Amino acid sequence: MIMPLTIFDRMRGLAAERFLMNEIVRVSMDDLRPDMILARDVVTYTGVVLLARNTMLNNINYARLVNNDVDHLFIYANSINPNNGHFSVNDRTTSLEQQRIPIEERPEFTEFSQEYQDKSEEVKNTILAISNGAEIDLDQLYTVTDGIMNKLRCKSDVFAFLGYIKNSDEYTFNHSINVSLLCNLFARWLALSEEDLIGITTSGILHDVGKTKIPGEILNKTGRLTDAEFEEMKNHSLYGYRILQNQMVPEEIKLCALMHHEKIDGSGYPLGAKITHISTYARILTICDIYDAMTANRVYRSKICPFEVIKTFETKVYGELDTRFLWVFLQSIAYTYLGSWIKLSDGQEAEVIFINKNDLSRPMVRTIDDQFIDLINRRDLNIDSLV
């Protein structure tokens, strides 16, 4: 398990750097499988970074590798899942028509969405039961998230798919599922151990359990909270820790409930803790928590485009979050959308064809009429939404 809080001062950064110490293996193109994670950048003969280290392989970036005559890749050994089948012949070419099929019409989304909806009521009942003193079964909690993730052939699809899940009045419980799914994928990007993968995934489901103690008129208020209401809302972190305090679960999971609103500069709550005193799980989970809150549809605003969220992370909250974890998260998200279709602020639709590592929120795109636009050089244009 990741080291406990009492010795974080000498173990800081261990989890963020652990993926660098994993065994690296050379894998031929014929032996590649979905969800393998790159241990080195894939660079073309002209020096262009085709895919960055830590990118998780899916059918779209696999086709890109094939089309660029890549012979082999270097992969983190612990990201190789022998239960995943190899990429198929069909994966070697992804046509424009295939890429532009609306997400809601894709069979894999239908399966994912159905499993998500089936598990939502179970998660709600489980969280309420735990809030009332029921014993926590970590295996059961992990199985919920793992079952949803297993509906995905390529786990990185979870980012795109979550944006199309039907809205629900049960935001708190759906948010817990979403954060758990994102934590599960993030842990894979970081190449954490199986034990830590389970720990951070279940932390995602449990991190907001304290909100069950917040009065409904505050929790579900559509307007601006008063100062007193906001102070009560902030107490959910303390309530959550007290609910989990005497449970037989790892301390890191309890600390996630307590610390998921802490910031490394000490500006968070409820403790005002700084980086050396914020648990490692909490520093990982906080990033997923903020990302889902920003990209979800809410009654008071529409969901925000992922590239706009990346920009916000880069410019407005960078000093508040652990930058070692944040960089892996943002880069991995950006490469997840490589090959996706987006709508620009001038109404044009285009495919994301290249990620600018120095400005992740402004990729190079190719329009339907085959025009190339590098958004780094076109500050008059922004990405409005995914297609």
Average pLDDT over residues 315-324: 87
Q: Which CATH architecture has domain 5-87?
A: Alpha-Beta Complex (3.90)
> pLDDT tens digits for 346-387?
999 999 989 998 899 999 999 989 899 999 999 999 999 887
pLDDT digits (tens, 9 = 90+) for 68-78: 889 999 998 88
pLDDT over threshold 70, residue 136: yes
Give the mean model confidence (pLDDT) for residues 317-328: 89
Model confidence at 299: pLDDT above 70 = no
Pair type for strands 341-344 and 349-354: antiparallel
How far is residue 154's CA from residue 202's CA, in Å, rounded to a whole number?
21
Say if residue 189 is exposed, middle or buried (CB neighbours under 10 Å; 0-12, 13-18, 19+): buried
pLDDT of res. 19: 40
**387: its two tokens:** 């297609």
Q: Which CATH number fits domain 103-303: 1.10.260.40, 3.30.450.20, 1.10.274.10, 1.10.3210.10?
A: 1.10.3210.10
**Among 88, 72, 83, 2, which residue's Cα sits nearest to residue 40?**
72
Domains of the chain: which residue ranges?
A: 5-87, 103-303, 305-387
Q: How many CB atoms neighbour CB 44 within 10 A? A: 11
Q: Are 314 and 361 in contact (CB under 8 A)?
A: yes
What's the sign of the alpha-carbon dihedral 299, 116, 309, 227? positive
Q: For residue 231, how many other CB atoms are within 10 A of its CB?
A: 11
C-alpha closest to that of 80 among 40, 26, 125, 119 = 26
Query: Residue 39 in contact with residue 24, Cβ under 8 Å?
Result: yes
What residues pair up with 366 in beta bridges, in sequence order? 351, 372
The answer to whether residue 10 scores a pLDDT higher than 50 is no
Q: Higher model confidence: residue 301 or residue 322?
A: 322
pLDDT at 97 over 80: no
Residue 6's pLDDT band, with cuts at 50, 70 and 90, is very low
Q: What's the pLDDT at 114?
A: 94
Strand 49-51 with 364-367, pairing? unpaired
Q: What is the pLDDT of residues 49-58, one digit of tens each?
A: 888 888 889 8
Q: Residue 78 is inside which H or E element, if any? A: none
Closest listed residue to residue 134, CA positions, set 143, 125, 142? 125
252: tokens are 């890191």
Give the least confident one: 39-43, 103-107, 152-156, 293-297. Answer: 293-297
* DSSP 3-state of 266: coil
- Whole-number average pLDDT of the chain: 87
21, pLDDT greater than 60: no
Q: Give the global pTM.
A: 0.85
pLDDT of residue 215 exceeding 90: yes
Mean of pLDDT values over 202-229: 94
